[in-house]
Structure 1
Amino acid sequence: MSSVLSKNHKQGEVLCFGELLLRLSPDEEGRWLNNNSLPFFIGGAELNVATALSLWDIPCKYFTALPQNNLSAEIVRHLNKKNIDISSILYQGNRIGIYFLTKGKDLKNDALIYDRANSAFADLKPGMINWDEIFEGITWFHFSAICPAISQQAADVCLEVLKAASAKNITISVDLNYRSKLWQYGKKPSSIMPQLVQYCDVVMGNIWAAEFMLDIPVLGDIHETGQKSTYLKEALSTSKQITRLYTKCKAVANTFRFDTDNLISYYTSLYTEGDFYNSYEYKTNKIVCKVGSGDCFMAGLIYGLYHNHQPQELLDFATAAAFQKLFINSDATTQTVEDINKAIKYE
């Protein structure tokens, strides 16, 4: 697995690129109205990754755009306390993006409402950033498919930064997280994401995200059997196609989380260097928060690859980290490496 990182003789900072968001979390029963209290969390997929990596002692820088005001200043001080390098944050624009997500719900259906139009990040344009300065000391760049889903302009910025990172031989990872409510500017994900994924060394997502974003079809009705072996077979097929179509890609990870009869099952897979690995299948009937579990898995992948851990070892760590995140009431994990290692289960 070391071949993924062999381009970098010495590991530097990981740069996570994306929009910082405030998540407001009303309960379904309307108690927030009676109590005049609306719980909020600081998040955003890429910030969740940065928070986990910094907690796990990997030097991490975060790039986003924020308005120059007292609210931003307080948030930045909060991030600084988490040992996240915030030196590259761009201050511009008028607002921070917000989204509403009903407590305990998934990022889909009517439980999710976005309010992020014309945010400081959404107003970024190509040519605004000196990426040579931003990439000083960076050996890993991470972004997600949420950024190019915002607008064509945001997608153009993503392409610009990926070209700059690739030119500097920086390892690049992407999370193919699909948000249907964001892709509203007349372009399908499959017309945008392939030109971005071509720059990526590590691709994380699931077989359905690969279908939506990369036009790699899921064959047949694989839900018919509901068998782990069937899903993993499809993950292997999808992973092989991704590495064939995107020759820079050296590792493909897939996550599977199913909610059936109040029982949640979670497992993952990793394809790299021609070998296929899968994790223990975790199960629970009680969770606290579904937000950020995938981000935690992504952070676990980066953590393992950064340290050149063996494929099965890093997959086991990332999977346990993601599963344990389901029991934490925040957008990012609060568990240490030691906590996660104690939680790992094996087949």
Structure 2
Amino acid sequence: MSPVLNGKWLQQNNMPVYIGGAELNVATALAKWNMPVSYCTAIPGHYLSKEILQYLGNKNIDTKPVQLSGSRIGIYFLPEGADLKSTGVIYDRSQSSFASLQPGVINWNELLEDYTWFHFSAISPAVSESAAMVCLEAVKAASAKNITVSVDLNYRAKLWQYGIKPPEIMQQLLPYCNVVMGNIWSANTLLGIDIDEHIHDKKSRQAYIEHAGITAKKIMQQYPSCNTVANTFRFDHNDGIKYYAVLDTNNNQYISTEFTSEKVMDKAGSGDCFMAGLIYATTQHYAQQHIINFAAAAAFGKLHEAGDTTSQTVQQIESSLKNVYV
């Protein structure tokens, strides 16, 4: 729900509704880019849920794995144009169907048959301890089937309210992950990876890039199954944004072009769009430099769209990169 503040949403009796959420935003982008994709969550079995499932089906997202249980759809309120990490977000996810999902309900071994990639975000284990244990079941099953597992280390301070510190949960999940996306700050908060507390004082792009490499190396050392780490950097620039990303593998580091915009429409979902770009480009066997450029361009393009999900095509993203290569 995205209200326009200063009372406008009350005066107009209007509040835009966007169907989204971290993993769903990734799925929506991949489906738009003609990749077969399925989505697993839990929602109630009422008429609103049926409309949501139909909406997702119309976007070519397979919803057969969705569990119909519980009585509430998780929602959050984010003022128009705001950032999900800002204090403006209000979460209303307690006791939602997904937060109430229990381990042992989903047969992951059966559900994951014939899949090649499993993606989840740190928001899922943040909503409840039971949801965290469901995530652990899922990544264990996926890893046992040699399915590539990716995680987005998106930290939301207003979640993680069930009495267990984030690293205690995330450190159980990371051993099963092959691809990790986040930033140097979320890696510190969610995984306990050391961070230079004075990094901002250096005011240096090169310092951030070098720190990304150090963070990535520590993640790959601590979690040997991980072979790819992507770190994104997004900084306010006047009324707009500066954006770039770094991709580290076991042997090399690749740095995206730096994108600058004087205006941003909506910050929500840009990280999810990056993740979708990373998955898409990797599965299409792009060269590593092309992978990080494509993912960064997709994320940057999302900053100019309203709502959680992107409407960009692969061709539009590639077109924005036409002057990147030298």
- 1:159 is matched with 136
Q: Which amino acid aligns with 2:28?
A: T
Distance 1:202 1:123 in 2: 27
Tell whether 2:290 aligns with 1:313: yes
Distance 1:30 1:283 in 2: 32
Q: Which has the higher contact order (CA 8 A, sep 6+)?
A: 1
Per-residue CA deviation, residues 298-324 of structure 1 (Å, 9 max, x unaligned), is 000000111121110111111100000
CA RMSD of aligned residues (A): 1.1
- 1:122 is matched with 99
Distance 1:53 1:175 in 2: 16
Per-residue CA deviation, residues 47-100 of structure 1 (Å, 9 max, x unaligned), is 000000011111100001110011111111110011111111110110101100
Question: Residue 256 of structure 1: SS of its match in structure 2?
Answer: strand
Distance 1:329 1:219 in 2: 34
Matches within 5 A, 1:295-310: 295-310=272-287
Distance 2:188 2:107 in 1: 34
Matched length: 324
How far residue 42 of structure 1 moved from its aligned partner, in angstroms, is 0.5
Tell whether 2:66 aligns with 1:89: yes
Per-residue CA deviation, residues 71-130 of structure 1 (Å, 9 max, x unaligned), is 111111110011111111110110101100111111134310011111111111110011
- 1:40 is matched with 17
Tell whether 2:49 aligns with 1:72: yes
Distance 1:40 1:104 in 2: 14
How far residue 217 of structure 1 moved from its aligned partner, in angstroms, is 1.2
Distance 1:225 1:273 in 2: 27
Distance 1:220 1:163 in 2: 34
Q: Which amino acid aligns with 1:346?
A: V
- 2:219 is matched with 242
Is the 8 Å Cα contact of residues 229 and 248 (structure 2) preserved in structure 1?
A: yes
How far residue 262 of structure 1 moved from its aligned partner, in angstroms, is 2.0
Where structure 1 has 5 or more consecutive residues not aligned to the other structure, the ranges are 1-23
Distance 1:54 1:114 in 2: 27
- Runs of 4+ with >3 A deviation: none
- 2:38 is matched with 61
Tell whether 2:254 aligns with 1:257: no
Question: Residue 75 of structure 1: SS of its match in structure 2?
Answer: helix
- Determine which structure has the larger strand proportion and give its number: 1
Tell whether 2:120 aligns with 1:143: yes
Q: Which amino acid aligns with 1:135?
A: L
Question: Residue 342 of structure 1: SS of its match in structure 2?
Answer: helix
2:167 corresponds to which of 190, 195, 201 = 190
- 1:277 is matched with 254
Distance 1:123 1:286 in 2: 39
Question: Residue 214 of structure 2: SS of its match in structure 1?
Answer: helix
Q: Which amino acid aligns with 2:84?
A: L
How far residue 28 of structure 1 moved from its aligned partner, in angstroms, is 2.3
- 1:179 is matched with 156
How far residue 201 of structure 1 moved from its aligned partner, in angstroms, is 0.5
Tell whether 2:311 aligns with 1:334: yes
TM-score normalised over the length of structure 2: 0.97
Distance 1:113 1:188 in 2: 21
